Amino acid sequence: MEAVKHLINNAIAEEQHSQQLHQALYSRLEQVSRLVQLPEHNANDRLYDFVVRYIEDVPTMLDNLQSAALEVGLLDYVQPVIRVAQEFFTSPPQEMARQGGLAALMSQAYLAMRLFEEVNETYIFKVGQPLIPLDMAMSNIIVHTLIGEPFANDLDALVEQAVGQLFTPAYQSDNFKAFMSRKEADNLVHIWRQVPCMSAEMGLASQFG
C-alpha cells in the first residue's frame, strides 16, 4: 500500500499550489448541498477535507482488511478484492487519462470505494453477510456528484465489470459458502473496527434524514 500512500501525499502537496481540486469542488457546491447539509461558512474547505479523508481511507481500509482477513483465514477470498482496489491507483483505467492530481485520485478512490460497496452487496446476496463492515453509500453518492456525470457513470460501469470478474466459481462454491457461514467468519467484523458512515462522521449529514 506504500505506493498508493506515496501517490496521495504527492497529490496533496501539489494541490496546495494548483488549487485545482478546490476549484472543481466549488463548482459543485450547489449540487452537493441538495444531498447533505453543508456549513454556512467554509463549505468548500469542509468538502475538500471530506474528499482528502475519502481518498486517504482507501489504503488504510485495505491494510486493515488484509490484516483481518489473514487472521481469520479469509485472505484467499479477500486478496483479489484488495488487488483490484490497489490497481485502480497504481494502474488506473485508460478512461482516467484525462485527469491528474487529487481530482484523479478522487476518481480512483471512488472506484475502490464503489468496489467495496458492490462486493458487499454481492456477498450479502450470495452468503447472507457483508465481506467488508463499512457504510460508504452516502459518501459514494457525494463523490459521484462531485465527479459529475456522465463520467461518474462510466466509473460505475468499470466497477460492475470488475465485480463480475472477481466472482469466479470459487466464490460460488459450497465450500466457500460453508466457510463464510461458520461462526469464526464473523470475527472479521470484530477484528476490523466497524467503520461508521464517513460523510456523517465528518459533519455532512444527509438532507433526507
- 175 or 23: which leads in pLDDT: 23
Q: What is the pLDDT of residue 14?
A: 93
Confidence of residue 114 (pLDDT cuts 50, 70, 90): very high
- Buried/exposed code over 22-54 (b: 16+ C-beta within 10 A; e: otherwise): bebbeebeeebeebbebeeeebbebbbebbbeb
The domains of the chain are located at 2-200
Of 197, 204, 196, nearest to 50 by C-alpha is: 204
The mean per-residue pLDDT over the stretch 18-22 comes to 93
* pLDDT of 196 above 50: no
Least confident of 40-49, 122-131, 150-159: 122-131
Average pLDDT, the chain: 80
Query: Measured between alpha carbons, how far is 51 from 70 in angstroms, rounded to an integer?
Result: 29
* Predicted local confidence at residue 88, as pLDDT: 92
Q: What is the dihedral of CA 47, 48, 54, 58, to 10 degrees?
A: 170
- Answer whether the bond into residue 150 is a cis peptide, omega within 30°: yes
3-class secondary structure, 36: strand
CB 109 within 8 A of CB 53: no
**What is this structure's pTM?**
0.84
pLDDT at 45: 93
How much is the average pLDDT of 114-130? 76
pLDDT at 31 exceeding the cut of 90: yes
| pLDDT-based confidence at residue 111 (cuts at 50, 70, 90) | very high
